[in-house]
Amino acid sequence: MAIKKSFFICFEGVEGSGKSTQAKLLYKFIKKNITKNVILTREPGGTLFSEKIRNLILDKKTKISTLTEFFLLMAARNEHIISKIDFYLKKNFIIICDRFFYSTLAYQHYLEDMDKKFIFNIQKKIYKKIHPDLTFLIDLNNKESKIRISNRSKNTNRFDKLSSYHFNKIRNGFIKISKTYKNKIVLIKGSRSLIEIQNEINKKTLKILNARF
């Protein structure tokens, strides 16, 4: 398929829902079957500097205020957008990003009760009118998320030990977000097998890319 314009795909959802796994699989699928011009990145992080900020944010030992955390997240995103996302969008790449702005709404607004307008105002400053073209939101319940997190090799971070009350605030926040942006977000049932989910994501991506290019 000849990709003449950039395309920005994001993966969102609660911890352990399978975002990183599916983002990697989609990256490989696109690289093999659609175009070599594809990159896989993540937030917070994605650049050398933003990965340093990520380590500060996820540090298990550090308790920081909600506002400090928000500004660190936005600083990491600003650098990520300027030096990576925008760069590859201009080169007409397909960009796959593990978490993006909907995570800010789910965590900073729905979990931490930060004012939505305030979040949008700051966001606008760093956005450069960049919006995901397509987001896969993987939904999973608290019980299954906990089992998966305890089984995975990746180190746990301070977000991985949320109470079920807090977990559900994030999960329900994501569901609300998927309703608000329903023509941009595909809600995926994360409790199914890896292959089933992968097939659905590949099929949907192909359909949308075919319609667009």
45 three-state secondary structure: coil
Using the minimum distance from each CB to ligand TYD, give the nearer residue, 44 or 132.
Answer: 44
Please say which residue, 22 or 104, places its beta carbon nearer to ligand TYD: 104
Encoded tokens for 143: 């019980």
- In sequence order, the 6+-apart residues with CB closer than 8 A to the CB of 102 are 10, 12, 135, 137, 174, 177, 181, 185
Which of 15, 43, 69, 79 contacts ligand ADP by CB under 6 A?
A: 15
Site for ligand ADP in 151-170 (CB under 6 A): 151-152, 154
Decide if residue 73 touches ligand TYD (CB under 6 A).
yes
According to the binding rule CB under 6 A, does residue 16 interact with ligand ADP?
Answer: yes
DSSP reduced 3-state for 171: helix
Question: Does 43 help bind ligand ADP (rule: CB under 6 A)?
Answer: no
By CB under 6 A, tell whether 18 contacts ligand ADP.
Answer: yes
The binder of ligand TYD chosen from 8, 41, 44, 53 (CB under 6 A) = 44
Q: Is the distance from CB of 122 to CB of 159 less than 8 angstroms? A: no
**Quick one: which of 9, 185, 197, 201 contacts ligand ADP (CB under 6 A)?**
197
Q: Can you tell me the distance from the alpha carbon of 187 to that of 178, in angstroms, rounded to the nearest whole number?
A: 7
